[in-house]
């Protein structure tokens, strides 16, 4: 077996990420983004007439990631507390003498790393959102196909009343659509960071705001009205969106795992050769459900770290800023893997309507007790109807108990009882709700 070279490969990390997203957040991608920022900084200075154009061109030419070793920069970063300082030193050394004074002109390390991380998140969000769209589309197909497929709804872990698998899938769909909308919005709002040592843009004088705007434009990032060195709302919005995505995909994964239990058997994860056990030859485990659930359970801690780090001192933080870097990238990593696995899980999901109907019928109609009580209530009142139907539900044969109880049969005929025990008649607005979710998926008003 050859050594791993992919950022998504490895003994454990490949179980939580996905290659195309991880390719945008690994060390070399962060280094590439930092160099893109240094080049944009020089270009913005040249645009304002503060940096010689020839120097800006020379700096941009040397901002090539293959010239630098991320591992060596990481080792050297410990002395300064961040990797920008050794990178600037190496970049400066690579330049012609005339360009060296203009490297990193007017910026501080936080400007470079914050802007680079914004770039990294924006770039990684491209494939991440594509995976999420695949998951959205797969959920919509399930909702459409199974709009009227009967199944039992469960509350507090118990059978409750009839529903449809289409409505369950519609719930997944809306959750994923909402997560996609929030992430796309947070991504679009991620700003470049440029403030200089204490957020005054002192090196640029009165041209500071114009340089900052040109800098953001060169990077293709949003421009911030002020430096956000200790105002961390942009990253909090991204963290919340990524955490929401993990929660939405985790909800899908949890439901699929429960529905795939042997005793339930209403769905099965597809995919040939997946789900094997090292000990039990017969096992077919819901692997994607398991891995997405694991990612979803890690998300809140990472989101919490970013929110805890957001209270930062004065103009530049003492540790809070440093605490953000790895949790942010870990969130992107987990969200990418969860989105890709949710898309595969839903695309390949095998649905078993016959088993759904069998489970619905397991209680002999008892889960339609609410429907029976609703038919009886106009005659005897809601509270009395509730007590009478509960008494009948305690007997072995619910239907027979309803037909032979004189307090019930006086008001409900056999035809009335059978109509109440038909689950199709107790679905309420389920079909309409599925249609609303599908309208949302199509971009129409629900």
Neighbours of 155 (CB within 10 A): 8
**DSSP per-residue string spanning 279-331:** S-TT----HHHHHHHHHHHHHHHHHHHHHHTT---TTS-SSTTTTTHHHHHHH
Find residue 163's DSSP bridge partners.
151
Cα–Cα distance measured from residue 207 to residue 239, given in angstroms and rounded to the nearest whole number:
33
Neighbours of 79 (CB within 10 A): 9
CB of 407 closer than 8 Å to CB of 376: no
Enter the tokens of residue 210.
Answer: 């114009």
Enter the tokens of residue 360.
Answer: 């619905």
Q: Read off φ and ψ for residue 196, nearest 5 degrees.
A: 75, -165
Distance of CA 75 to the CA centre of its chain: 32
CB of 333 closer than 8 Å to CB of 17: yes
Whether the CA torsion 103, 109, 114, 119 is positive or negative: it is: positive
Count of positions (residues) in the chain: 446
User: Which residue in the list 185, 277, 413, 429 is annotated as catalytic?
Assistant: 277
Q: Is 133 exposed, middle or buried (0-12, 13-18, 19+ CB in 10 A)?
A: middle
Q: Is 123 noted as a catalytic residue in this protein? A: no
Cα–Cα distance measured from residue 202 to residue 195, given in angstroms and rounded to the nearest whole number:
8
Q: Read off φ and ψ for residue 2, nearest 5 degrees.
A: -75, 150
CB of 170 closer than 8 Å to CB of 437: yes
Closest CA to 150 of 360, 1, 445: 360
User: Which residue in the list 43, 123, 232, 316 is annotated as catalytic?
Assistant: 316
Cα–Cα distance measured from residue 392 to residue 446, given in angstroms and rounded to the nearest whole number:
41
Whether the CA torsion 108, 114, 116, 119 is positive or negative: it is: negative
Q: Is 277 noted as a catalytic residue in this protein? A: yes
Cα–Cα distance measured from residue 234 to residue 429, given in angstroms and rounded to the nearest whole number:
40
Closest CA to 267 of 335, 180, 168: 168
Q: Which residues are catalytic?
A: 277, 316
């Amino acid at each position: 077996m050859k050594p791993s070279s992919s950022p998504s490969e490895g003994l454990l990390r490949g179980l939580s990420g996905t290659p195309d997203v991880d390719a945008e957040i690994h060390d070399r991608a962060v280094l590439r983004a930092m160099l893109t920022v240094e080049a944009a900084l020089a270009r913005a200075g040249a645009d304002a007439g503060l940096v010689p154009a020839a120097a800006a061109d020379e700096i941009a030419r040397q901002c090539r990631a293959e010239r630098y070793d991320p591992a060596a920069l990481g080792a050297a970063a410990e002395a300064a507390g961040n990797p920008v300082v050794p990178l600037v030193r190496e970049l400066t050394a690579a330049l012609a003498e005339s360009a060296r004074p203009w490297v990193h002109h007017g910026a501080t390390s936080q400007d470079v790393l914050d802007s680079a991380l914004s770039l990294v998140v924006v770039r990684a969000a491209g494939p991440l959102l594509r995976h999420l769209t695949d998951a959205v589309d797969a959920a919509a197909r399930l909702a459409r196909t199974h709009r009227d497929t009967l199944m039992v709804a469960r509350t507090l872990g118990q059978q409750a009343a009839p529903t449809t698998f289409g409505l369950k899938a519609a719930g997944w769909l809306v959750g994923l659509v909402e997560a996609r909308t929030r992430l796309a919005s947070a991504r679009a709002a991620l700003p470049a960071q440029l403030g200089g040592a204490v957020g005054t843009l002192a090196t640029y004088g009165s041209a500071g705001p114009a340089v900052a705007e040109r800098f953001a434009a060169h990077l293709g990032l949003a421009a911030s009205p002020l430096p956000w060195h200790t105002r961390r709302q942009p990253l909090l919005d991204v963290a919340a969106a990524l955490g929401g995505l993990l929660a939405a995909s985790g909800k899908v994964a949890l439901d699929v795992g429960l529905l795939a239990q042997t005793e339930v058997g209403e769905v099965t994860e597809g995919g040939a050769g997946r789900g094997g056990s090292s000990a039990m030859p017969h096992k077919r485990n819901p692997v994607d459900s398991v891995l997405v659930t694991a990612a979803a359970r890690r998300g809140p801690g990472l989101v919490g770290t970013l929110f805890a780090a957001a209270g930062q001192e004065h103009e530049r933080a003492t540790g809070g800023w440093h605490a953000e870097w790895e949790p942010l990238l870990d969130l992107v990593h987990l969200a990418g893997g969860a989105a890709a696995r949710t898309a595969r899980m839903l695309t390949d999901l095998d649905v078993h309507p016959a088993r759904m109907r069998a489970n619905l019928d397991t209680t002999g109609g008892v889960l339609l007790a609410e429907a029976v009580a609703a038919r009886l209530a106009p005659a005897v009142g809601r509270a009395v109807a509730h007590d009478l139907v509960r008494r009948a539900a305690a007997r072995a044969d619910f239907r027979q108990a309803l037909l032979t109880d004189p307090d019930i049969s006086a008001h409900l005929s056999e035809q009335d009882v059978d109509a109440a025990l038909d689950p199709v008649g107790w679905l309420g607005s389920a079909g309409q709700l599925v249609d609303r979710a599908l309208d949302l998926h199509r971009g129409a008003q629900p």
